[in-house]
């Protein structure tokens, strides 16, 4: 999908050359089609780890109901249950806004999406993340690298089955991590822990080297060799 700035640039280009295709629209559409075709080949071959991200990128570049539906189908087959349920729901929302003529072109995908939602929803895991009472207001929480707002904490949220990493980060940069694994249909609550305080133990004083008495007739250097050496940066 073109950004607002790129869309504006495209419109300027169109105003200067009526009838000429907007480059960013054409490039995004062509890239989305190439990604979709590759994803479809991977999907048919059972390479779901490659197919689902390619469907998602195709949808990002050029959003279309058919691509969204196919992404949900890929995720459902790959066991990404929460993601599949979310995308089936998005597809049905778009379907409800279509004209009758547009709905006919979907060739019954809405019925497939409804059946998939009914089947998958009971199996979607739910994860509840709870903060300690003493957590500062400026602390942040992320799950699998994505930030979670305060409103999402303490609520049972749908997640895909598998391993999830939760990070509690304070404003001073200190953080604590917790990893949990959820199976199909499981429900789990995780209470995070505040990061441990940095160690404040004083360093031990340096031990002075023992100097032996100089031999008779031998002149001792005026300073230890390392006393005048420059410390490395």
DSSP of 154-213? TS-EE--SEEEEEEEE-TTS-EEEEEEEE-TT-EEEEE--PPPPPP-PPPPPPPPPPPPP
Domains of the chain: 4-121 (1.25.40.10), 126-191 (2.60.40)
Contacts 24+ apart (CB under 8 A), 90-99: 91/65, 92/117, 94/65, 94/68, 95/65, 98/65
**Nearest of 198, 194, 154, 199 to residue 176 by alpha carbon:** 194
pLDDT 10s digits, 34-64: 999 999 999 999 999 999 999 999 999 999 9
In angstroms, the CA 181 to CA 162 distance is 5
Region 95-107 average pLDDT = 97
0.85 exceeded by pTM: no
pLDDT tens profile 176-208: 999 999 999 999 999 999 998 755 455 555 555
Q: What is the pLDDT of residue 170?
A: 96
Instruction: For the beta carbon of residue 159, count every other beta carbon within 10 angstroms.
Output: 21
pLDDT, position 203: 52
> What is d(CA 133, CA 114) in angstroms, rounded to the nearest whole number?
41
């Amino acid at each position: 999908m073109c950004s607002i700035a790129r869309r504006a640039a495209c419109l300027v280009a169109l105003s200067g050359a009526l009838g000429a295709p907007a480059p960013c629209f054409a490039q995004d559409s062509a890239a989305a089609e190439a990604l979709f075709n590759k994803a479809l080949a991977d999907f048919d071959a059972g390479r779901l780890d490659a197919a689902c991200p390619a469907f998602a990128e195709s949808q990002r570049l050029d959003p279309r109901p058919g691509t969204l539906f196919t992404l949900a189908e890929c995720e459902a087959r790959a066991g990404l249950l929460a993601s599949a349920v979310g995308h089936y729901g998005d597809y049905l929302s778009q379907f409800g806004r279509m004209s009758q003529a547009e709905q006919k072109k979907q060739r019954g995908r809405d019925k497939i999406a409804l059946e998939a939602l009914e089947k998958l929803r009971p199996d979607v895991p739910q994860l509840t993340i709870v903060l300690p009472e003493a957590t500062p207001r400026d602390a942040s929480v992320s799950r699998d690298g994505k930030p979670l707002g305060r409103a999402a904490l303490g609520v049972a949220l749908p997640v895909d089955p598998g391993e999830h990493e939760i990070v509690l980060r304070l404003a001073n940069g200190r953080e604590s991590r917790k990893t949990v694994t959820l199976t199909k249909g499981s429900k789990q609550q995780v209470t995070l822990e505040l990061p441990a305080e940095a160690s404040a133990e004083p360093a031990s004083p340096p031990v002075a080297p023992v100097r032996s008495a100089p031999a008779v007739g031998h002149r001792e250097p005026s300073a230890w060799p390392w006393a005048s050496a420059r410390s490395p940066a």
